[in-house]
């Protein structure tokens, strides 16, 4: 059999995420395999065990147990899981020892460039069969959804043979060549994805939520730029997948809570049933024999409906639902796509549930209770508000290319006009008030110089005997649109049951929200600078030096005409700005972050945009005083950058 090579999964700039590879298994020959066999056998078992113990995750004594089987007739032995799945580097190191009787077999495998990188989206594979008939099969995520395209098709050679298996001299071998797998191009931006993973890990470590998701979407195209969840797992080893095998973005259906009020307000305004100057009694309301409460059970007295969204008043939303009427509200919920799959290219998507069995349940849906949704459904529904009324289907793939060159595009797909442009603008203005107003619930998301609109959410969690109680037994969430006047980014974060409840949930999520938005805007600014160049000859595509040695990266970029600044004392580059594939100005500055202690570069002569790049890649708070180019810095070049606290100041003149 001629094995096909499995195709690759790449990011938005063509950088490899997953690719075909080989792993190796080691075995030892102890007895001749057949009469006259001249194959070398293990001679010195003590030496062999000593040397192998340096490269295998197995103690010398354990290796000796394998090399001294109980049966003297055993001809060869393998070394269990510790001797399988070896990398080429380990195989080569052992081979250089030239140990008699030590041999290898190879197996097709999958190589992932990053250990944790949108793991549940990219997915997993498994090897089915053995030997030449072994094949890699996708079992999760994109690896599963596009398995047929990625797998390709094995080939074979056939000929006529005699009774002893030898090819007849009169026959001619016929070969059907293998067809390698195609390539899947995702919409993910590696820079933002890796940054999101680091932010998620930090929040997970500090506040210990039982589950968490974060998704950044292009509000104008529906492209998912970065997305992750916790718990997550290692793409390469699978470690952690047993903690959370589901793709929470499409498989988990949950009550969204108050973020749903974005759609409630949209429906009320669009249907002509919103009177902002109408007053109502906040605190509680009775519907169908059941009393429904605001999160502040005492309420805020008699207030106008214009404050309901800002204060996140459940009672206010119920009033809007009642004025619309159940039929109108249900109509809008269906238009927004709830209760049906989005069709995103990920396996096992849930359609959620939409309960409208009585007056109480239809009222509670107005504030996100009694309705189960998925993250993708929420992103799709909210896109109508971000995209001036036209709803976009979320997409994680831009195109696929088969081995024979057939291109299938997954471009922007609209789901029709859901609300009027004027409605969308009005709702976005209301989201800005949530951040800016003294009575708003979203002050934690205020960002200096950035036009941010959000809606916060706190959803109860259903248990076996009703909703759970306790301060942390909620799904907290936030949806943001940036810039609110003309959104490019839609960011949606959910955080479930933080066990280390040391801050308000809004402040916990802001530790992801604000840095990620800041970096996205910084990358946009860098791209805009390059786009404003007057001629093609002044721009070029940034090369990838991430994961290369520091000296090689510095030499490569310097030879290409860039100014290179290095942060840290390490020997390997772990991150770069601008990122690979980004259009850059010739002679511009590239900042490299290494794996060593984080040290401050000399910023003399740096522009404000260069200082901003430094802030993004280090995650530190920097401030540039004055205008023009940097001339002084509060931390000397070469000094360690503090881990916590304080703002590093640069003076410009």
pLDDT value, residue 162: 57
User: Taking Cα atoms as reference points, which of 378, 395, 518, 350 lies closest to residue 449?
Assistant: 518
Q: Is the pLDDT of residue 306 over 80?
A: yes
Max Cα separation, the chain? 99
| Class of domain 533-652 as given by CATH | alpha beta
Q: Has this prediction a pTM greater than 0.85? A: no
pLDDT value, residue 171: 62
pLDDT value, residue 572: 87
**DSSP for 489-520?**
EEEEEEEEEESS--S-HHHHHHHHHHHHHHHH
User: Taking Cα atoms as reference points, which of 476, 475, 477, 427 lies closest to residue 453?
Assistant: 427
In 437-560, which residue ranges form alpha helices assigned H by DSSP?
A: 505-531, 550-559
Read off the tokens for 272: 């002509």
Could you report the per-residue pLDDT of 339-396, keeping only the tens digit for each? 999 999 999 999 999 878 889 999 999 999 999 999 999 999 999 999 999 999 999 9
Could you report the per-residue pLDDT of 276-294, keeping only the tens digit for each? 999 999 999 999 899 999 9
Query: pLDDT-derived band of residue 415, with 50, 70 and 90 as boundaries?
Result: very high
CATH topology of domain 190-232+248-404+413-525: Beta-lactamase (3.40.710)
pLDDT value, residue 533: 53
Mean pLDDT of 182-189: 96
Q: Is the pLDDT of residue 254 over 70?
A: yes
Instruction: List, in order, residues 6 or more apart from 241 with CB less than 8 Å away.
Output: 124, 233
Strand segments (E) across 187-320:
209-218, 224-230, 279-281, 284-287, 290-293, 302-304
User: Taking Cα atoms as reference points, which of 183, 130, 174, 170 lies closest to residue 155?
Assistant: 174
Average pLDDT, the chain: 89
Read off the tokens for 256: 């969204």
**What distance in Å separates the CA atoms of residue 558 and residue 622, rounded to the nearest whole number?**
26
Could you report the per-residue pLDDT of 84-130, keeping only the tens digit for each? 878 777 888 999 999 999 999 877 788 888 889 999 999 999 888 76
Query: pLDDT-derived band of residue 144, with 50, 70 and 90 as boundaries?
Result: very high
Could you report the per-residue pLDDT of 530-563, keeping only the tens digit for each? 555 544 446 778 888 988 889 889 988 988 888 8
Could you report the per-residue pLDDT of 478-506, keeping only the tens digit for each? 999 999 999 999 999 999 999 999 999 99
Q: Is the pLDDT of residue 164 over 90?
A: no
**What distance in Å separates the CA atoms of residue 382 and residue 480, rounded to the nearest whole number?**
10
**What distance in Å separates the CA atoms of residue 169 and residue 175, rounded to the nearest whole number?**
17
Q: Is 480 helix (H, G, I), strand (E, B) or coil?
A: strand
Q: Is the pLDDT of residue 431 over 80?
A: yes
**What distance in Å separates the CA atoms of residue 323 and residue 434, rounded to the nearest whole number?**
23
User: Taking Cα atoms as reference points, which of 493, 482, 412, 391 lies closest to residue 223?
Assistant: 412
Share of the chain above pLDDT 90, in %: 60
**Phi-psi domain of 632 (left: phi exceeds 0; alpha: psi -120 through 50; beta: other):** beta
**Do the domains at 190-232+248-404+413-525 and 533-652 have one common CATH topology?**
no
Annotated catalytic residues are 258
Query: pLDDT-derived band of residue 419, with 50, 70 and 90 as boundaries?
Result: very high
Location of structure tokens 């511009």 = 588
**What distance in Å separates the CA atoms of residue 606 and residue 24, rounded to the nearest whole number?**
49
**DSSP for 137-188?**
EE-SHHHHHTHHHHH-B-BEEE--B-TTSPBPTT---EEE--B---EEEE--
- φ, ψ (nearest 5 deg) of residue 217: -120, 145
**What distance in Å separates the CA atoms of residue 115 and residue 111, rounded to the nearest whole number?**
10
Contact 180, 403 (CB under 8 A): yes
Share of the chain above pLDDT 70, in %: 91
Could you report the per-residue pLDDT of 20-58, keeping only the tens digit for each? 877 788 999 998 876 656 667 999 999 999 999 999 999
Contact 424, 385 (CB under 8 A): yes
Contact 437, 310 (CB under 8 A): yes
Domain locations along the chain: 9-186, 190-232+248-404+413-525, 533-652
Could you report the per-residue pLDDT of 232-252, keeping only the tens digit for each? 999 988 999 999 999 999 999
Q: Is the pLDDT of residue 157 over 70?
A: no
**What distance in Å separates the CA atoms of residue 375 and residue 478, rounded to the nearest whole number?**
12
CATH topology of domain 9-186: Alpha-Beta Plaits (3.30.70)
């Amino acid at each position: 059999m001629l094995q096909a090579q499995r195709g690759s999964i790449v990011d938005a700039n063509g950088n490899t995420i997953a690719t075909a590879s080989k792993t190796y298994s080691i075995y030892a020959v102890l007895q001749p395999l057949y009469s006259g066999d001249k194959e070398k056998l293990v001679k010195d078992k003590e030496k062999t065990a000593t040397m192998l113990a340096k490269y295998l995750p197995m103690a010398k004594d354990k290796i000796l147990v394998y090399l001294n089987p109980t049966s003297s007739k055993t001809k060869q032995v393998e070394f269990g899981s510790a001797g399988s799945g070896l990398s080429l580097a380990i195989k080569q190191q052992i081979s250089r020892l030239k140990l008699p009787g030590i041999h290898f077999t190879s197996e097709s495998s999958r190589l992932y460039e990053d250990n944790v990188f949108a793991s549940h989206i990219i997915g997993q594979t498994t090897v089915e069969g053995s030997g030449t008939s072994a094949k890699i099969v996708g079992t999760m995520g994109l690896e599963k959804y596009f398995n047929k395209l990625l797998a390709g098709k094995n080939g074979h050679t056939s000929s006529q043979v005699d009774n002893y298996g030898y090819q007849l001299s009169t026959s001619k071998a016929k070969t059907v060549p293998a067809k390698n797998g195609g390539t899947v191009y995702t919409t993910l931006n590696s820079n933002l994805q890796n940054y999101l993973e680091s932010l998620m890990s930090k929040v997970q470590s500090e506040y210990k939520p039982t589950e968490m998701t974060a998704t950044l979407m292009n509000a104008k195209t529906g492209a998912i730029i970065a997305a992750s969840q916790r718990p997550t797992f290692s793409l390469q080893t699978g470690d952690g997948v047993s903690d959370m095998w589901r793709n929470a973005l499409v498989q988990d259906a949950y009550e969204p809570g108050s973020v749903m009020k974005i759609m409630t307000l949209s429906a009320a305004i669009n249907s002509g049933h919103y009177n902002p100057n109408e007053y109502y009694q906040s605190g509680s309301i009775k519907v169908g024999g059941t009393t429904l409460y605001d999160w502040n059970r005492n309420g805020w007295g008699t207030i106008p409906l214009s404050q309901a969204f800002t204060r996140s008043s459940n009672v206010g939303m119920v009033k809007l639902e009642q004025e619309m009427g159940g039929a109108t509200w249900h109509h809008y919920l269906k238009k927004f796509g709830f209760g049906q799959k989005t069709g995103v290219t990920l396996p096992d998507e849930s359609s959620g549930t939409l309960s409208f069995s009585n007056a109480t349940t239809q009222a509670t849906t107005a504030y996100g209770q009694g309705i189960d949704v998925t993250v993708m459904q929420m992103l799709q529904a909210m896109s109508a508000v971000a995209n001036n009324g036209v709803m976009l289907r979320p997409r994680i793939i831009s195109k696929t290319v088969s081995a024979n060159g057939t291109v299938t595009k997954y471009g922007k797909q609209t789901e029709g006009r859901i609300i009027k442009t004027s409605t969308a603008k009005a709702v976005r203005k209301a989201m800005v008030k949530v951040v800016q107003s003294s009575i708003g619930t979203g002050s934690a998301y205020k960002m200096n110089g950035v036009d941010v609109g959000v809606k916060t959410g706190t959803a109860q969690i259903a248990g076996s005997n009703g909703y759970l109680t306790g301060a942390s037994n909620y799904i907290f969430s936030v949806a943001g649109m940036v810039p609110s006047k003309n959104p490019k980014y839609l960011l949606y974060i959910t955080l479930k049951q933080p066990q280390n409840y040391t801050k308000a949930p809004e402040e916990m999520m802001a530790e992801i929200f604000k840095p990620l938005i800041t970096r996205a805007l910084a990358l946009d600014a860098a791209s805009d600078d390059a786009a404003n160049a007057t001629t093609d000859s002044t721009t070029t595509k940034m090369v990838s030096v991430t994961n290369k040695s520091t000296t090689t990266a510095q030499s490569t970029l310097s030879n290409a005409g860039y100014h290179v600044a290095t942060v840290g004392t390490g020997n390997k580059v772990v991150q770069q700005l601008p990122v690979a594939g980004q259009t850059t100005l010739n002679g511009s500055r590239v900042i490299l972050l290494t794996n060593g202690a984080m040290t401050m570069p000399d910023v003399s002569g740096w522009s404000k945009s260069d200082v901003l790049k430094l802030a993004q890649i280090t995650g530190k708070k920097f401030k540039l005083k004055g205008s023009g180019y940097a001339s002084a810095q509060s931390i000397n070049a070469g000094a360690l950058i503090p881990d916590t606290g304080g703002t590093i100041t640069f003076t410009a003149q």
